[in-house]
Structure 1
Amino acid sequence: MRLGGAVLKRAAALLLLAATSATAQVPPPTTATQSTFRWTGTLSQGGLIVGTAPSGTRTLTLDGKPIALAPDGRFLAGFDRDAGPQAMLAATLAGGLVLRQSLTITPRSWDISRLSTLPKYPVPEAEFTRIRPGELAQIKAAREISAASDGWQQAFAWPVTGRISTLFGSQRIYRNGEAGSYHSGVDVAREIGAVVRAPADGVVILAADHPFTLEGNLLMINHGMGLNSAFLHLSRIDVKVGDRVIKGQPVGAVGMSGRATGPHLHWSLRWNAAKLDPVLVAGEMR
């Protein structure tokens, strides 16, 4: 009986060891979650961030306004030239829980451009008043086009390189001291005919068939997620509405159509209604 009991005890011990070893080889399942916002970019007036929302986010807002959320949880958020010192991100999760993140937006100072030889209106004011509403309607309609593109995920490149002649955000004072709206993009001085290239993948949403009073030959590209580029004063446009373009593809040429004092490219960027500084998005010119 003693021998039999010892054998039974040893057998039980071996079974316990085997069961323990088998359990140790299958670790318990784990779930990776992100309970906070993450982002890269510039939190300043004219800046843009690319972020990732908390895991399980169903809807996302910035200062109470809905913003697009990619399937992988990434999003864009841009801050206008006149953005206030604070912004609020809010993510609503599947169960109704709302996670908020306050953002501190760095203020900037702006240059004043005095264009004493340039009138505020490039044509007689009465004619400008008659023509301009139709042009603005075309621009507004183009910005409202929803075009699927992954260009917003790319590192943006300068569409043309050269001397920056006017910075984003500068205030323009025209002939007779008349103040204009602030400069919504960056001017790069180049010779007429210099090739303009797409700064990122996108879809053409406007390719003017005639020069606009201010913008001249105007081209607009949607990069997805509410981000779009506009190229002003072109001498020619080489693409048409609906075309898909890839980063680096020629899309037009530098000119001085519309209101311009010399040949240059005006490149502006918008995220939804926020006007952005291309220098902060594209980085140092190379």
Structure 2
Amino acid sequence: MIGSVGAAKDPTSNSITGIILDGEAQQGGVLIGTAPAATAELRLDDQPVRFDRDGRFLIAFDRDAKPQARLTARLADGHMLSQIINVAPRAWRIERVNTALRPVRDNKAYLALRRPELARIAAARSVDTGATGWRQRFLWPRVGRISGLFGSQRVYQGVPGAYHGGIDVAALTGDTVLAPADGVVVLAADRPLTLEGNLLMIDHGHGLSSAFLHLSRIDVKLGQSIRQGQRIGAVGATGRATGPHLHWGMRWNEARIDPLLLAGPMP
């Protein structure tokens, strides 16, 4: 069987005989696939790809993913299947401003506070809970006006700033936030973090995770299993935020991906 992916949707341009790939390969996007029963190992470029007993797996592409990626399957008999996946570029919202980029904070007091926070976030992302929410069609955790797009970026007098790593939904403090898919809580901040504020992270399995920033309240606990549509917290403006809103970020391993491509258009 031959699956197809890619912007051109050519039925042979991005497929591997024996492996089905569903979706469109694009920056910030996700593909769901099925590997043959005889698959012993699956890799996307140099990183291993987890797959279930039924062969189902997920791969994703970072916001700045290169134009091509290689998916390789090693079968139990040693035979190798390999295919180049063409990753379509996206037109990000870039704003050019005639002001200087603010210098990164590097004072000792700030770094002493921030480094343990970053280590805690990294540790949470590395947890493999065995969750299966990655198989579901994701829901919007909050319905409302999209006030910040994934991948948007400002360029300050020719110097690019950090791009927006999630999607923002305008809301009021206290508005309910729901779980977009099944998962397990891998981080539930007991106090606001410097930038993220009250941070909640949910592992959906196979390296896919969601992060909810600036919450006013977290309604779930570390290690708790979460069901899609369950109340998990409330919108806020904690941490570095100019006003109340929900920031929803997603990653597949280290790749930052666009939640909009999993949840679809805002209802």
What is the aligned partner in structure 2 of residue 11 from structure 1? none
What are the residue-to-residue correspondences of 1:30-109 with 2, within 5 Å? 35-109=17-91
What are the residue-to-residue correspondences of 1:241-280 with 2, within 5 Å? 241-280=222-261
1:128 aligns with 2:110: yes
Residues 188-242 of structure 1, C-alpha deviations (whole Å, 9 max, x = no match) = 1101111000000000000001111110100000001110000000001011100
Gaps of 5+ in 1: 1-33
- Which has the greater radius of gyration? 1
Q: Percent identity?
A: 55
What is the aligned partner in structure 2 of residue 155 from structure 1? 137
The count of aligned residue pairs is 251
Q: CA RMSD in A?
A: 2.4
**Structure 1 or 2: larger helix share?**
1
- Alpha-carbon distance, 1:128 to partner: 2.3
- Alpha-carbon distance, 1:161 to partner: 1.0
Distance 1:82 1:147 in 2: 27
Match of 2:172 among 171, 191, 194: 191
- The answer on whether the counterparts of 2:177 and 2:232 sit within 8 Å (CA) in structure 1 is yes
Instruction: Output the amino acid matched with 1:79.
Output: F
What is the aligned partner in structure 2 of residue 218 from structure 1? 199
Distance 2:112 2:193 in 1: 13
CA distance 1:254–1:56, shift in 2 (3 Å): same
Distance 1:192 1:58 in 2: 48
3-state SS of the aligned residue for 1:101? strand
- The answer on whether the counterparts of 1:54 and 1:91 sit within 8 Å (CA) in structure 2 is no
What are the residue-to-residue correspondences of 1:221-240 with 2, within 5 Å? 221-240=202-221
- Alpha-carbon distance, 1:113 to partner: 5.1
Distance 2:161 2:114 in 1: 15
CA distance 1:172–1:131, shift in 2 (3 Å): farther
Q: TM-score, normalised to structure 2's length?
A: 0.87
- Alpha-carbon distance, 1:171 to partner: 1.4
- The answer on whether the counterparts of 2:37 and 2:54 sit within 8 Å (CA) in structure 1 is no
Distance 2:109 2:196 in 1: 16
- Alpha-carbon distance, 1:180 to partner: 3.3
- The answer on whether the counterparts of 1:42 and 1:280 sit within 8 Å (CA) in structure 2 is no
Instruction: Output the amino acid matched with 2:183.
Output: G
- Alpha-carbon distance, 1:127 to partner: 3.2
3-state SS of the aligned residue for 2:161? strand
- The answer on whether the counterparts of 1:211 and 1:218 sit within 8 Å (CA) in structure 2 is yes
What is the aligned partner in structure 2 of residue 170 from structure 1? 152
Distance 2:232 2:98 in 1: 32
- The answer on whether the counterparts of 1:77 and 1:271 sit within 8 Å (CA) in structure 2 is yes
- The answer on whether the counterparts of 1:217 and 1:232 sit within 8 Å (CA) in structure 2 is yes
Q: TM-score, normalised to structure 1's length?
A: 0.82
- Alpha-carbon distance, 1:55 to partner: 3.5
CA distance 1:40–1:87, shift in 2 (3 Å): same
CA distance 1:193–1:204, shift in 2 (3 Å): same
Residues 101-130 of structure 1, C-alpha deviations (whole Å, 9 max, x = no match) = 21100011211357999x958989543222
Which structure 1 residue ranges, 4+ long, deviate > 4 Å from structure 2?
113-117, 119-126, 176-179
Instruction: Output the amino acid matched with 2:136.
Output: Q
- Alpha-carbon distance, 1:76 to partner: 0.5
